[in-house]
Amino acid sequence: MSGAAPRRWASAQDCVDALIEQVGRELRVAVPLGLGKPNTLLNALYRRAVDDPSVRLHLYTALTLAPPPVGQGLQARLAGPIQTRLFEGYESLDYWEALRGDALPANIRVTEFFFQPATLLGRAQAQQDYLCSNYTHVGRDLRAAQINVFMQLVAPHPDTGSAEQVSLSSNPDVTLEMLPYIRQRRADGLPVAVLGQVCDALPYMGRDAVVTVDQFDGLFEGEAAQYRLFGTPAAPVSAADHAIGLQVSALLRDGGTLQIGIGALSDAIAWSAGLRENDNNRYRQAIAAMPGLPDTLVEQLGGRAPFRAGLYGCTEMLVEAYLHLQRAGVIKRRVYPHAGLQRLLDDGRIGVRPDEAMLDALVDASLVGNPLSRDDVHWLREAGIFRADVEWAAGTLQREGLPGIEADLSREENLQAIADHCLGSELRDATLIHGGFFLGGEGFYERLRALPPAERDLICMTGVAQINQLNGNEPLRVAQRRHARFVNTGLKVTLMGSVVSDGLESGQVLSGVGGQYNFVAQAHALPEARSILCIRATRGQGQTLESNVVWAYGHVTIPRHLRDIVATEYGVADLRGATDSQVIARLLDIADSRFQPALLKQAVAAGKLPDTHEISPWARDNRPEALGQRLATVGAGGFPAFPFGSELSAEEITLMRALRGFQALDRWGRARSLLRHAGVFRRPPAAHGALLSRMGLHKPRGWRERLQAGIVSVALLEAGAESQA
């Protein structure tokens, strides 16, 4: 890169001054998605461009993180203190508010390839400058845009600081791919600058994420570079989410590979997989109560037994659920960076500790020759099979202080001598999880920071091109990704098997394609792999209730020819290799029963189903009430709303549930509730005292606060809180 020690600044403004001096005023700036943005540095650059119209700034990024709006009225009373607690000390990005308000100056553009979901609907500047790109194509698109500035948040080593190395930590995803481009740009004499902001709070991740400081032109560090990381609070896991997660967990093959994303569905899958591993009797009871999960599919693809070999995680996005899966004993299958070695391990022909039998197996598999060559010995050292001090010389193996050993493995005395003096203790470079970027709550970051180095190095943060596709090192990736299950979420599925995940038929973008297409395509390319797209059967409540299983939709993320497995809370539909009529029939069976008749009528009218077709008997009661009864087979606490804890207090969780439930009622439902519990406006239940105090309404002043206090109590009573004495 620059080939010299980077300049170091304690001031973001000084860093920006040097940047403009080096590159000029036409700045095409790439910063990582999500957590890896250097917020302080980016804000200083944005403010410079706002103040100086001669600076033309075009920012390329994705997933701009911003605290959610607190709203008004009761919502603000509940959310305001939570937001202060969770985000105080986080440095918000200045360009975000301008982007949300369609108020970016004429000399500033922001191009994102993935939006924080549903935050930029109707925002003309953001929608017009959106870049629709697969995650694996982002590097290509940045090169085409002739990016000349790269900026990233980096982590110092916990012991040595940022003296010689830093970690790309949360975001090596695209940066690693761009390093050759940066080198070439320098070689061609074109202006380019690479800047890092050193943040002590960012977890230090080793392995592929570590880069030397001479990769950077400058580092912004010191007190001014520190801020609180953005933490995403855990979302509550609904009964529908748990039902989907339960069924998906039975499709995971022991000894296989798992990819999941962020959010409630991921937590649900992790919780049920942990239940399968650690409370198998209760797990089997719950699975038996799910009529929409075909036994044949479970037997063919997954299982109900605990995980003996365990799973390996290969995920674009590392989320906290993976750490819970590791602690639960589910994520425990280790992979290694050699295809032949990986196949021998997974086939049970070798273990992780080198011995004579391993040497025999390596020869039988033609992974090494006999006698061993110099190259063989080099590889055996790199893999940890031989000690680091073993050398090859003139057909012998040598170590200081020992006589040479012939490299002929066919002679028993040589094999025994090699076993006694040359073998290492364990295979090197084991990996439990490969990840491209990470994002989560503050507790997740703390757990990553607290990992002992040996455990931390079992997680390899690396380039997204290494994870989201096979090409580049296909034999190794095929060997590692045995029985892969790529689990992602969608918004809607059409009865022909197309899936909508990122946008609306109006053309408005909700989020982005990200890596979803990559994983779906990979599932079709890998032997024994499957794509599982999880879709809640309905959205909305009351008069706004609508089906997410639809006849057709004017936007598609995953085309019908890549249809595979679709899961709703009511069942699992295997669409791979199925005819159109089979696809439609199977999706109808996992739709909400309130919408099945109309959907069936549309399919028949289109000539895609015979008019004699009937919904399967087991699927005719696909309703939330019946689903709740099925999940109850596990018993109280079996499927908790916050499986792995919450940043919210118990009081806040109670209030949130109650107010959401009340808000979901239609106008007449709310009116009936208010009339039914009208007495609370005169005297609220004593049991609600602490909850009203949390809302600042325990001593209401004026008619507005008395009304709000009454509504809170009504909502609590409707949600099952103690009734009025």
Please give the DSSP secondary-structure letter assigned to residue 236. P
With CA atoms as reference, report the closest residue to 721 among 663, 646, 630, 653: 653
pTM above 0.85, yes or no: yes
Query: Is the distance from CB of 198 to CB of 152 less than 8 angstroms?
Result: no
How many C-beta neighbours within 10 Å does residue 677 have?
A: 21
Phi, psi for 499 (deg, rounded to 5): -120, 135
Q: How far is CA 528 from CA 284, 484, 680, 716, in A?
A: 24, 7, 60, 49
CA dihedral (695, 696, 700, 705) in degrees, to 10, reads: -60
With CA atoms as reference, report the closest residue to 620 among 592, 642, 598, 648: 592
Cross-strand bridge partners of residue 312: 257
Over residues 37-88, the pLDDT tens digits come to: 999 999 999 999 999 999 999 999 999 999 988 889 999 999 999 999 999 9
Given this model, what pLDDT does residue 663 score?
86
Kindly write down the DSSP assignment for every residue of 3-27, as one continuous string.
-SPPEEES-HHHHHHHHHHHH-SEE
Q: Which helix (H) or strand (E) holds 179?
A: helix 175-187
Average pLDDT over residues 134-155: 97
Q: How far is CA 147 from CA 30, 173, 571, in A?
A: 7, 17, 46
Q: Is the peptide bond before 371 cis (omega within 30 degrees of 0)?
A: yes
* Angular region, 241: left φ>0, alpha ψ -120 to 50, beta rest: alpha
With CA atoms as reference, report the closest residue to 207 among 174, 179, 178, 165: 165
Instruction: Decide if pLDDT at 101 tops 90.
Output: yes
Q: What span, in angstroms and rounded, lies between the C-alpha atoms of 7 and 4?
A: 9
Kindly write down the DSSP assignment for every residue of 85-140, as one continuous string.
HHHTT----HHHHHHHTT---TTEEEEESSPSTTSSTT-HHHHHT-----GGGHHH
Given this model, what pLDDT does residue 246 score?
97
pLDDT band at residue 503 under the 50/70/90 scheme: very high
Given this model, what pLDDT does residue 263 score?
84
Given this model, what pLDDT does residue 724 score?
40
In the chain the domains, ranked by start, together with CATH numbers, are: 7-225 (3.40.1080.10), 239-334+433-626 (3.40.1080.20), 339-421 (no CATH), 650-718 (no CATH)
Over residues 176-203, the pLDDT tens digits come to: 999 999 999 999 999 999 999 999 999 9
Query: Is the distance from CB of 323 to CB of 435 less than 8 angstroms?
Result: no
Given this model, what pLDDT does residue 636 score?
61
Q: What span, in angstroms and rounded, lies between the C-alpha atoms of 72 and 66?
A: 18
Over residues 231-260, the pLDDT tens digits come to: 988 889 999 999 999 999 999 999 999 999
Instruction: Decide if pLDDT at 2 tops 90.
Output: no
Given this model, what pLDDT does residue 1 score?
44
Instruction: Decide if pLDDT at 610 tops 50.
Output: yes
Phi, psi for 411 (deg, rounded to 5): -95, 125
Report the length, in residues, of the chain.
725
Instruction: Decide if pLDDT at 635 tops 80.
Output: no
Instruction: Decide if pLDDT at 417 tops 60.
Output: yes
Q: Name the percent of the chain lying above pLDDT 70.
A: 98
- Token digits for 275? 């239940």
Radius of gyration of the chain (CA): 28
Average pLDDT over residues 355-361: 95
DSSP three-state, residue 393: strand
CA dihedral (594, 595, 600, 601) in degrees, to 10, reads: 100
Instruction: Decide if pLDDT at 553 tops 70.
Output: yes
pLDDT band at residue 4 under the 50/70/90 scheme: confident
Q: Name the percent of the chain lying above pLDDT 90.
A: 89
Instruction: Decide if pLDDT at 725 tops 50.
Output: no
Given this model, what pLDDT does residue 723 score?
46
Instruction: Decide if pLDDT at 219 tops 70.
Output: yes
Q: What span, in angstroms and rounded, lies between the C-alpha atoms of 15 and 224?
A: 12
Instruction: Decide if pLDDT at 543 tops 80.
Output: no
- Token digits for 320? 């906290």
pLDDT band at residue 638 under the 50/70/90 scheme: confident
Q: What is the mean pLDDT of the chain?
A: 94
Q: How far is CA 214 from CA 169, 196, 211, 650, in A?
A: 17, 11, 8, 49
How many C-beta neighbours within 10 Å does residue 276 have?
A: 27
Higher pLDDT, 462 or 541: 462
DSSP three-state, residue 307: coil
Go through 599-615 and write b for each residue having 16 or more CB atoms within 10 A of its CB, e for each that does not: bbebbeeeebbeeeeeb
Q: What span, in angstroms and rounded, lies between the C-alpha atoms of 401 and 415?
A: 19
Over residues 424-440, the pLDDT tens digits come to: 999 999 999 999 999 99
Instruction: Decide if pLDDT at 279 tops 70.
Output: yes
Q: Which one-letter amino acid corresponds to residue 492? A: K
